[in-house]
């Protein structure tokens, strides 16, 4: 919690810096630009305009309202990204859905990453350096990876080389961003681990995700127990066969078995398989007995 308060205070401090006419940062070379690049800044929503060249025309109102409700409870988990166009004026690059939902939630400010002129390499360096820190939670790391993809257009292979991590490791972090926002917050606040998150992500239904998350927290489940819970849920979704396998097998009446035994004068064994096929075994004790049975068969 202390970490979140510290970040929030930092965001407000940077916001004040950007609204100071004497510190109007226009380039990465300007004074205090290093404090902005790679950091989260709280911006007034009214200072942000939608990019007219990349409008997203269709927004599901119900989905937006659900996101607005989530933002009221948890805040904006993933900051938007804007481009600085003038003094205290910004243009949206990514996150229009989050921006619209923030307005519905009644927010006046929204956390944002600010892109300024010629900051590409500086931003890359700042993000890579940020990822190397040891006090980051898994969601913060995932968001940094996502920014390198969205804003710098790095591939996972290129990121692997830059940050010294395996490509599979990067992919595992990025998958966490598909979790329900409540679960992402749970990871950030330390209620569950990244291992728990990786197990839950195998379930697509976010309502089921949150249900399992609540069980993990309330019952203090381990990662292994969570994996078993997810596996059992997935197994329950598989269609169950209701029809029994057809069989052609049948039972030999005791009377029929007695008739065969009496006829050959020996204890005859009859076996039947599930497909209805079978065999009759007639024992004999000598060559003489064998010849006797042959004569009976010949009639």
Q: What is the mean pLDDT of each run of 10 residues along the chain (299 residues)?
A: 44 76 82 82 92 62 90 90 88 87 94 83 78 84 89 88 90 94 92 95 91 94 94 84 59 75 78 78 82 79
State the Cα–Cα distance between residues 283 and 37, nearest whole angstrom.
94
Structural contact between residues 87 and 48, judged by C-beta atoms closer than 8 angstroms: no
Annotated active-site residue 121? The verdict is no
Predicted pLDDT at 219: 94
Q: 229: part of which helix (H) or strand (E)?
A: helix 223-237
Predicted pLDDT at 4: 43
Predicted pLDDT at 56: 53
Structural contact between residues 114 and 94, judged by C-beta atoms closer than 8 angstroms: no
Among candidate residues 44, 96, 225, 227, the one labeled active-site is 96
Predicted pLDDT at 52: 67
CB atoms within 10 A of CB 294: 10
- Adjacent-strand bridge partners of 177: none
Predicted pLDDT at 57: 54
CB atoms within 10 A of CB 155: 11
What are the b/e assignments for 96-105, b being 16+ CB within 10 Å? bebbbbbbeb
State the Cα–Cα distance between residues 206 and 215, nearest whole angstrom.
14
Predicted pLDDT at 197: 95
pTM: 0.59
Predicted pLDDT at 135: 77
Cβ neighbours of residue 230 closer than 8 Å, sequence gap 6 or more: 199, 200, 202, 203, 212
| CA 203 to chain CA centroid, nearest Å | 7
Structure tokens at 14: 């940077």
Cβ neighbours of residue 125 closer than 8 Å, sequence gap 6 or more: none
Structural contact between residues 20 and 63, judged by C-beta atoms closer than 8 angstroms: no
């Amino acid at each position: 919690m202390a970490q979140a308060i510290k970040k929030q205070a930092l965001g407000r401090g940077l916001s004040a810096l950007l609204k100071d006419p004497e510190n109007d940062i226009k380039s990465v070379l300007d004074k205090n630009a290093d404090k902005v690049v790679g950091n989260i800044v709280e911006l007034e929503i009214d200072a942000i305009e939608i990019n007219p060249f990349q409008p997203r025309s269709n927004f599901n109102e119900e989905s937006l309202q659900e996101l607005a409700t989530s933002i009221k409870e948890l805040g904006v988990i993933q900051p938007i990204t804007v481009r600085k166009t003038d003094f205290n004026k910004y243009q949206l690059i990514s996150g229009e859905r989050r921006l619209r939902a923030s307005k519905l939630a009644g927010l006046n400010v929204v956390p944002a990453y600010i892109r300024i002129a010629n900051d590409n390499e500086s931003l890359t360096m700042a993000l890579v350096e940020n990822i190397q820190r040891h006090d980051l939670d898994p969601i913060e790391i995932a968001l940094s990876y996502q920014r390198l993809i969205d804003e710098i257009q790095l591939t996972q292979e290129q990121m692997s080389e830059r940050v010294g991590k395996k490509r599979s490791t990067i992919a595992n972090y990025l998958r966490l961003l598909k979790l329900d926002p409540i679960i992402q917050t749970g990871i950030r606040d330390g209620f569950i681990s990244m291992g728990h998150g990786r197990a839950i992500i195998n379930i697509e239904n976010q309502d089921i995700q949150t249900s399992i998350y609540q069980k993990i927290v309330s019952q203090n489940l381990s990662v292994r127990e969570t994996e078993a819970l997810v596996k059992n849920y997935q197994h329950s979704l598989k269609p169950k066969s209701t029809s029994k396998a057809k069989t052609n097998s049948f039972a030999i009446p005791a009377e029929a078995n007695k008739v065969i035994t009496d006829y050959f004068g020996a204890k005859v064994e009859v076996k039947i398989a599930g497909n209805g096929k079978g065999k009759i075994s007639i024992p004999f004790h000598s060559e003489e007995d064998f010849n006797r049975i042959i004569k009976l068969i010949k009639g």
